[in-house]
Amino acid sequence: GAVVSQHPSRVICKSGTSVKIECRSLDFQATTMFWYRQFPKKSLMLMATSNEGSKATYEQGVEKDKFLINHASLTLSTLTVTSAHPEDSSFYICSARDTSRQETQYFGPGTRLLVL
């Protein structure tokens, strides 16, 4: 299957700082990428849909000014958690769709964020 990478795999930061997470589709182009967060023993919760060259679409209850999403190219989307607080600590996962094949999504390995 297609490969999606995330960087970093884990990050620890101080409260009040901002953290950027990268999501890359390595062997295909992705017009659409998705960002999820997952708390322990819970399911994935969709945060936003990222479309290349346009603004992201956020799910209800997700603060767009806090979770900044940029999808500058067909292979890269970034999620920036601004002014992070301990309650933002979570597992963040991205996914991407292979535009050319209209297949399902392929997921990245996830990024573990811990805010102290």
Partner 1 sequence: LAKTTQPISMDSYEGQEVNITCSHNNIATNDYITWYQQFPSQGPRFIIQGYKTKVTNEVASLFIPADRKSSTLSLPRVSLSDTAVYYCLVGDLGGGFKTIFGAGTRLFVKA
Question: Is residue 113 a contact point for partner 1 (CB under 8 A)?
Answer: no
Return the number of the residue (2 or 82) whose C-beta is nearest partner 1: 2
Instruction: Tell me whether residue 76 or residue 82 sits nearer to partner 1 (CB atom).
Output: 76
Q: Can you tell me which of 14, 60, 61, 102 binds partner 1, judged by CB under 8 A? A: 102
67 binds partner 1 (CB under 8 A): no
Q: Is 58 in the site for partner 1 (CB under 8 A)?
A: no
Question: What does the DSSP assignment read for the chain?
Answer: ---EEEE-SEEEE-TT--EEEEEEESSS--SEEEEEEE-TTS-EEEEEEEETTS--EEPTT--TTTEEEEEEETTEEEEEE-S--GGG-EEEEEEEE-TTTT--EEE---EEEEE-
Taking CB under 8 A as the rule, does residue 54 contact partner 1? no
Cβ(111)–Cβ(8) below 8 Å: yes
Stretch that binds partner 1, among 14-22, 42-50, 62-70, 77-85 (CB under 8 A): 42-50
What is the contact surface with partner 1 in residues (CB under 8 A)?
1, 4, 6, 32, 34, 36, 43-46, 49, 91, 93, 95, 97, 102-110, 112
